[in-house]
């Protein structure tokens, strides 16, 4: 395998940054997230980033097109699509899986979302393996191998003080070729992955949930929920959005923004009816979507075990414990 | 199990068994050792889940809003700040005193969750910032008290003086520096509204931030809308913030929200005289009344 | 985000929230008395200065005004008896909060102008326009669209 000392990793990124826009996990304004590589960037490779790579492909606010409405005429102006290739370095297996989930939503089942597709098509993904799971990680419970990501162009391996690279796709090979002068070829054995603190047994949960829509368990689970969207907005797979107009006089912009099933306006209907009025209905929907509806439609869970929601929830709504409660119900 | 935890469980069991309340809201151990999230107990045998430790941050008074139209009684545990929040809700007629059983816990200060996470269980974990400035560690209102009167006196001795040095540091910057500072802070705001939803001062049935269709706030996440949110939220809780620090703790992006709230508290004190929210449920709110002799700067 | 250069031909845009009973009448009197003041202000008539919600002020900055003036009856003269006393408290606080997040104090002001104070209206508008003209366009809090 081709390897490089961790301390020399910036050289690789530097070289790639000459040709591509390179996004790296880094601490930016107090939060770890994927940030364009610059010389003084504060790389964060110890732990997974707080903000998942979701917003690279599906930004929190995305301008779709501009319009001008005057009298009875309407002009629409599209924003030019970018075509420069970008490399995203250091995506963990859980987040790679989340990109797979997003691909299902935005690219399959007869509708292809052009905004997502554009960003997705010009991205080269470099996955990075994990050896030391964080306290909140449970990816293995979700059927994910922390050392082997799905859909990567290059799989990078954390080898302690070194990083190893393995090309998976043709584009990946090309990229590795470009940095090969910096790498050394050597035999490596992959270090063992550490113990996981959290786990969840999802076996049979999607099937069981089919009968559980009216189960009293939802009353109990939802009571402490605050109905904020911290969980959904740090979630790598949550992908609900709302389309809104921003109009100033004759000019307007159509924007697409993240939305969350916890909000009042999310399900508010014309005429004021609210089919999901309270905590119970909203919390139930969130977990049914992740554990039942999504598997039914796409044959995969909408949770990758990254543990972000477990850490960031102000009242510690823990999906692993909810899965346990569903199992025991 | 600590002495207080034992007492908490006993009293909760008693309340449920006697039927004094239908439900007891307290804290239980969460996923990690440094998390003690809220617990809702309605069966006496479940009371053994309840705990009291240095991570019982959640302000349980907020949950009383969920039980506003509930027939039966609800019992909650209150620390000093939670009891101020309760008084505040009482002052706004959001809760009915008769329908709530309050169990007071004299609080010696909680520990910082984020630091606990990084320092580990054996580390020397500092107190949470809000607790370092807490003026009211003992519950101001309660029906039962854990630990009795002597505990109150003990805790009262840990009372801290409020410190506005962090607010002053921002005040000393130039306007442009201040703008840059706050822009950077709120540029990372996700507008998840955790700060609002956890806040016991936020008791509106319909919040303006949920009215994007009507146009009170834009749905887009950008500097301008985020600052609109920040400033409006701060003005809305002005004079009503009980300094429980929950907004800041709940924020997934670690925005120093209390730095805005404390600025308003400081100014209210300077402009309209000493005022601490949630002390007197009968009192008037600083922005809900006026004095003819208020400072005059608009002549 | 300081503004170093003032663009050519730039004119300040100032929003005046004028209470119906005093300041609006004051502005009217200024007009009747042929008192000149710069055309940079846009008057928005409100029933009482107490009607001016803090959100209105922030929204004005978002949408591109360079300065905001909230004006109403003198304390004691409110048509609704006490409305302006609440205004006074609210905007004493709001003014400090806006400064705290970096808005220059000149950009947001409040004044008491009665129905008989046409000259005062002229003088306040002159003064605020000059102050803001000297500072240049406001870029803070603005939405970028």
Residue C145's pLDDT is 57
Looking at the domain assignment, is residue C9 inside a domain? no
Q: Nearest-CA distance from C139 to chain A in Å?
A: 17
Q: Nearest-CA distance from A73 to chain B in Å?
A: 24
Contact A61 B206 (CB under 8 A): no
Contacts of C88 in chain B (CB under 8 A): 290, 294, 296, 298
Tell which of B102, B126, B156 closes a domain. B156
The first and second tokens of residue A176, run together, are 């590795």
Tell which of B96, B123, B156 closes a domain. B156
Domain match, B262 and B173 both: yes
Put simply, whether C9 touches A (Cβ < 8 Å) is: no
Nearest CA in chain B to A241: B219
Looking at the domain assignment, is residue B47 inside a domain? yes
**Which one of A262, A315, A320 would you mutate to disrupt binding with B, by most B Cβ within 10 Å of its Cβ?**
A315
Query: E strand or H helix at A138, and its extent?
Result: none
Tell which of B110, B139, B156 closes a domain. B156
What pTM did the predictor assign? 0.94
pLDDT 10s digits, B280-291? 999 999 999 999
Taking residues B188-195, what's their average pLDDT? 96
CA distance A282 to A263: 8
Least confident of A47-56, A84-93, B82-91, B156-165: B156-165
Q: Which stretches within chain A are classed as H helix? A: 9-19, 54-57, 93-107, 114-121, 170-179, 205-209, 217-222, 230-234, 264-267, 279-288, 294-298, 308-312, 319-328
* Mean pLDDT estimate for chain C: 93
Q: Which residues contact B255 (CB under 8 A, 6 or more apart)?
A: B185, B186, B188, B189, B195, B248
The first and second tokens of residue B86, run together, are 């309760």
Contact A314 B198 (CB under 8 A): yes
Residues above pLDDT 70, as percent of chain B: 98
Q: Collect all residues from B whose CB is shorter than 8 A from any CB in C.
A: 170-171, 175-183, 208, 216, 218, 222-225, 227-228, 230-232, 234-235, 238, 260, 263-264, 267-268, 271-272, 286-287, 290, 292, 294-299
Q: Which residues contact A259 (CB under 8 A, 6 or more apart)?
A: A240, A241, A242, A265, A266, B219
Q: Reply yes or no on whether the pLDDT at B63 is more than 90.
A: yes
- Per the CB < 8 A criterion, the answer to whether B204 and A234 are in contact is no
Exposure string (b/e) for C86-114, b if CB count within 10 Å is 16 or more? bbbbbbbbbbbbbbbbbbbebbbbbbbbb
Looking at the domain assignment, is residue C7 inside a domain? no
Q: Nearest-CA distance from A198 to chain C in Å?
A: 42
Domain match, B104 and B152 both: yes
Residue C111's pLDDT is 96
CA distance A312 to B252: 5
Put simply, whether A226 touches B (Cβ < 8 Å) is: yes
Residue B172's pLDDT is 96
Q: Collect all residues from B whose CB is shorter than 8 A from any CB in A.
A: 30-32, 35, 37-40, 58, 62-63, 66, 117, 184, 187-188, 190, 192-194, 196-198, 206, 210-213, 218-222, 246, 249-250, 252-254
CA distance A62 to A116: 10
What are the phi and psi torsion angles at A74 (to 5°)? -135, 125
Q: What does R_g of chain A's alpha carbons equal in angstroms?
A: 21
Contacts of A61 in chain B (CB under 8 A): 219-222
pLDDT 10s digits, A150-181? 999 999 999 989 999 999 999 999 999 999 99
Residue B254 domain boundaries: 165-272
Contacts of A253 in chain C (CB under 8 A): 145
Looking at the domain assignment, is residue B72 inside a domain? yes
**Which one of B24, B197, B202, B208 would you mutate to disrupt binding with A, by most A Cβ within 10 Å of its Cβ?**
B197
Looking at the domain assignment, is residue B30 inside a domain? yes
Put simply, whether A248 touches C (Cβ < 8 Å) is: yes
Residue C32 domain boundaries: 17-135
Residue with tokens 């109403």: C72
CA distance A301 to A289: 9
Closest CA relative to residue B53, chosen from B75, B32, B74: B32
What is the three-class DSSP state of A107? helix
Query: E strand or H helix at C88, and its extent?
Result: helix C83-100
Candidate from B179, B218, B234 with C-beta closest to C102? B179
Residue B154's pLDDT is 74
Domain match, B204 and B60 both: no
Residue C144's pLDDT is 74
What are the phi and psi torsion angles at B80 (to 5°)? -55, -50
Residue with tokens 């009262």: B156
Q: Nearest-CA distance from C33 to chain B in Å?
A: 22
Question: Any idea how long chain C is?
Answer: 145
Nearest CA in chain B to C90: B287
pLDDT 10s digits, A186-245? 999 999 999 999 999 999 999 999 999 999 999 999 999 999 999 999 999 999 999 999
pLDDT 10s digits, B203-253? 998 899 998 888 889 889 999 999 999 999 999 999 999 999 999 999 999
Answer with the residue of higher pLDDT: C131 or A30: C131
Taking residues C51-66, what's their average pLDDT? 95
C45 beta partners: C18
Put simply, whether A245 touches C (Cβ < 8 Å) is: no
Residues above pLDDT 70, as percent of chain A: 100
Residue B151's pLDDT is 74
**Which one of C99, C104, C140, C144 would you mutate to disrupt binding with B, by most B Cβ within 10 Å of its Cβ?**
C140
Residues above pLDDT 90, as percent of chain A: 91
Looking at the domain assignment, is residue C142 inside a domain? no
Looking at the domain assignment, is residue C33 inside a domain? yes
Calculate the dihedral angle through the C-alpha atoms of A174, A180, A186, A187, rounding to the nearest 10 degrees: -10
Least confident of A15-19, A275-279, B149-153, C9-13: B149-153
Burial class (CB within 10 angstroms; exposed 0-12, middle 13-18, buried 19+) of B271: middle
Residue A186's pLDDT is 92
Taking residues C60-68, what's their average pLDDT? 95
Question: Any idea how long chain A is?
Answer: 329
Looking at the domain assignment, is residue B286 inside a domain? no
Kindly report the three-state secondary structure assignment for every residue of chain B. CCHHHHHHHHHHHHHHHHCCCCEEEEEECCCCCCCCCEEEECCHHHHHHEECCCCCCCCHHHHHHHHCCCCCCEEEEECHHHHHHHHHHHHCCCCCHHHEEEEECCCCCCECHHHHHHHCCCCCCCECHHHHCCCCCCCCCCCEECCHHHHHHHHHCCCCCCCCHHHHHHHCCCHHHHHHHHHHHHHCCCCCCHHHHHCCCCCCCCCHHHCCCCCCCCCCCCHHHHHHHHHHHHHHHCCCCCCCCHHHHHCCCCCCCHHHHHHHHHHHHHHHCCCCCCCCCCCCCCCCCCCCCCCCCCC
CA distance C49 to C46: 7
CA distance C142 to C145: 9
Residue C126's pLDDT is 97
**Which one of A26, A135, A226, A242 would you mutate to disrupt binding with B, by most B Cβ within 10 Å of its Cβ?**
A226
Calculate the dihedral angle through the C-alpha atoms of B261, B263, B269, B275, rounding to the nearest 10 degrees: 10
**Which one of C88, C131, C139 would you mutate to disrupt binding with B, by most B Cβ within 10 Å of its Cβ?**
C88
Q: Reply yes or no on whether the pLDDT at C1 is more than 60.
A: no
The first and second tokens of residue B143, run together, are 């029906």
pLDDT 10s digits, A117-132? 999 999 999 999 999 9
CA distance B12 to B52: 12
Contacts of C59 in chain B (CB under 8 A): 228
Number of domains in chain B: 2
The first and second tokens of residue A164, run together, are 């190893």
Contact B31 A315 (CB under 8 A): no
Answer with the residue of higher pLDDT: C6 or B273: B273
The first and second tokens of residue B254, run together, are 């670690």
Contacts of A220 in chain B (CB under 8 A): 40
Contact C97 B299 (CB under 8 A): no
* Mean pLDDT estimate for chain B: 93
Instruction: Classify strands A241-248 and B38-41 as parallel, antiparallel or unpaired.
Output: unpaired
CA distance A329 to A212: 9
For chain A, domain boundaries: 2-53+80-185, 205-328
Closest CA relative to residue A237, chosen from A182, A150, A303: A303
- Expressed in angstroms, the distance from the first to the final Cα of chain B is 63
- Per the CB < 8 A criterion, the answer to whether A223 and A284 are in contact is no
Q: Collect all residues from C whose CB is shorter than 8 A from any CB in B.
A: 1-2, 54-55, 58-59, 62, 75-76, 82, 85-86, 88-104, 109-112, 140-144
Contacts of A252 in chain C (CB under 8 A): none
pLDDT 10s digits, A56-105? 999 999 999 999 999 899 999 999 988 899 999 999 999 999 999 999 99
**Which one of B194, B205, B223 would you mutate to disrupt binding with A, by most A Cβ within 10 Å of its Cβ?**
B194
Neighbours of chain B (3+ CB pairs under 8 A): A, C
- Domain with residue B188: its CATH number is 1.10.1060
Domain match, B24 and B148 both: yes
Q: Nearest-CA distance from C123 to chain A in Å?
A: 32
CB < 8 Å from A in window 63-102 of C: 63
Q: Reply yes or no on whether the pLDDT at A106 is more than 80.
A: yes
Query: E strand or H helix at A213, and its extent?
Result: none
Burial class (CB within 10 angstroms; exposed 0-12, middle 13-18, buried 19+) of C71: buried
Residue A229's pLDDT is 95
Contacts of A66 in chain C (CB under 8 A): none
Residue B158's pLDDT is 67
- Per the CB < 8 A criterion, the answer to whether A306 and A314 are in contact is no
Q: What is the DSSP letter of C40?
A: T
Q: What is the DSSP letter of A269?
A: P
Looking at the domain assignment, is residue B282 inside a domain? no
Contact C102 B182 (CB under 8 A): yes
Taking residue A277's Cβ as centre, other Cβ atoms within 10 Å add up to 12
The first and second tokens of residue A315, run together, are 């009242």
Q: Reply yes or no on whether the pLDDT at C2 is more than 70.
A: no
Put simply, whether A228 touches B (Cβ < 8 Å) is: yes
Q: Reply yes or no on whether the pLDDT at A283 is more than 90.
A: yes
Q: Reply yes or no on whether the pLDDT at B163 is more than 90.
A: no
Residue B212's pLDDT is 83
Looking at the domain assignment, is residue B123 inside a domain? yes
């Amino acid at each position: 395998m081709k390897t490089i000392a961790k301390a020399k990793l910036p050289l690789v990124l530097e070289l790639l940054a000459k040709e591509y826009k390179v996004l790296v996990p880094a601490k930016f304004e107090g939060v770890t997230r994927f940030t364009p590589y610059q010389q003084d960037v504060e790389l964060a490779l110890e732990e997974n980033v707080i903000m998942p790579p979701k917003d690279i492909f599906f930004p929190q606010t995305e301008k779709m097109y501009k319009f001008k409405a005057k009298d009875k005429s309407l002009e629409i102006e599209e924003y030019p699509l970018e075509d420069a290739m970008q490399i995203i370095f250091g995506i963990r297996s859980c987040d790679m899986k989340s990109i797979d989930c997003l691909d299902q939503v935005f690219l399959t089942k007869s509708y292809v979302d052009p905004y997502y597709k554009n960003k997705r098509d010009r991205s080269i993904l470099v996955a990075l393996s994990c050896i030391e799971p964080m306290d909140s990680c449970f990816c293995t419970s979700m059927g994910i191998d922390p050392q082997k990501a799905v859909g990567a162009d290059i799989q990078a391996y954390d080898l302690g003080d070194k990083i190893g690279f393995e090309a998976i796709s043709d584009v990946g090979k090309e990229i590795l070729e470009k940095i090969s002068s910096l790498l050394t070829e050597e035999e490596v054995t992959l270090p063992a992955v550490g113990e996981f603190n959290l786990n969840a047994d999802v076996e049979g949960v999607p099937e069981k949930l089919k009968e559980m829509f009216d189960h009293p368990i939802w009353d109990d689970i939802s009571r402490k929920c605050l109905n904020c969207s911290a969980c959904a907005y740090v979630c790598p797979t949550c992908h609900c959005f709302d389309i809104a107009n921003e109009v100033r006089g004759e000019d307007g912009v159509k924007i697409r923004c993240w939305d969350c099933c916890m909000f009042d306006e999310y399900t508010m209907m014309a005429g004021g009816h609210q089919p999901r009025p309270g905590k119970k209905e909203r919390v139930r929907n969130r977990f049914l979507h992740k554990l039942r509806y999504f598997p039914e439609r796409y044959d995969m869970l909408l949770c990758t075990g990254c543990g972000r929601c477990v850490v960031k929830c102000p009242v510690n709504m823990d999906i692993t414990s909810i899965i346990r409660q569903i199992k025991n119900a | 199990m600590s002495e207080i935890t034992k007492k908490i469980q006993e009293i909760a069991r008693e309340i449920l068994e006697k039927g004094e309340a239908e439900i007891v809201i307290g804290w239980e151990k969460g996923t990690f050792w440094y998390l003690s999230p809220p617990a809702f107990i309605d069966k006496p045998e479940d009371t053994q889940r309840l705990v009291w430790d240095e991570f019982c941050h959640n302000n349980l008074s907020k949950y009383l809003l969920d039980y506003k139209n509930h027939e039966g009684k609800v019992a909650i545990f209150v620390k000093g700040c939670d009891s101020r929040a309760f008084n505040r809700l009482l002052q706004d007629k959001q809760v009915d005193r008769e329908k709530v059983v309050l169990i007071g816990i004299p609080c010696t200060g909680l520990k910082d969750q984020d630091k606990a996470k990084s320092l580990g269980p054996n580390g020397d974990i500092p107190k949470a910032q809000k607790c370092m400035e807490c003026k009211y560690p003992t519950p101001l209102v309660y029906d039962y008290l854990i630990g009795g009167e002597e505990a109150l006196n003990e805790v009262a001795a840990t009372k801290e003086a409020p410190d506005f040095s962090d607010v002053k540091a921002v005040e000393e910057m130039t306007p442009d520096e201040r703008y840059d500072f706050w822009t950077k802070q709120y540029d990372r705001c996700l507008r998840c509204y955790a700060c609002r939803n956890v806040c016991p001062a936020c008791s509106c049935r319909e919040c303006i931030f949920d009215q994007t269709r009507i146009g009170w706030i834009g749905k887009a996440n950008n500097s301008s809308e985020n600052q609109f949110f920040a400033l409006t939220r701060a003005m809305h809780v002005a004079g009503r913030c009980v300094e429980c620090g929950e907004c800041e703790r709940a924020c997934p992006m670690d925005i120093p929200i209390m730095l805005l709230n404390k600025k308003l508290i400081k100014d209210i004190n300077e402009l309209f005289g000493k005022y601490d929210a949630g002390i007197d449920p009968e009192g008037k709110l600083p922005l809900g009344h006026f004095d003819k002799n208020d400072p005059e700067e608009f002549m | 985000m300081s503004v170093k250069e003032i663009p050519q031909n730039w004119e300040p845009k100032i929003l005046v929230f004028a209470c119906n009973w005093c300041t609006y009448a004051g502005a009217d009197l200024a007009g009747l008395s042929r008192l000149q003041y710069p055309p940079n202000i846009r008057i928005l008539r409100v029933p009482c200065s107490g009607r001016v919600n803090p959100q209105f002020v922030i929204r004005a900055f978002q949408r591109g005004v360079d300065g905001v003036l909230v004006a109403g009856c003198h304390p004691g003269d409110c048509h609704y008896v006490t409305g302006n006393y609440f205004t006074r408290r609210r905007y004493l606080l709001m003014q400090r909060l806006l400064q705290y997040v970096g808005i220059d104090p000149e950009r947001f002001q409040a004044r008491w102008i009665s129905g008989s104070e046409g000259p005062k209206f002229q003088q306040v508008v002159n003064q605020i326009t000059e102050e803001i003209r000297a500072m240049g366009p406001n870029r803070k809090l603005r939405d970028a669209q």
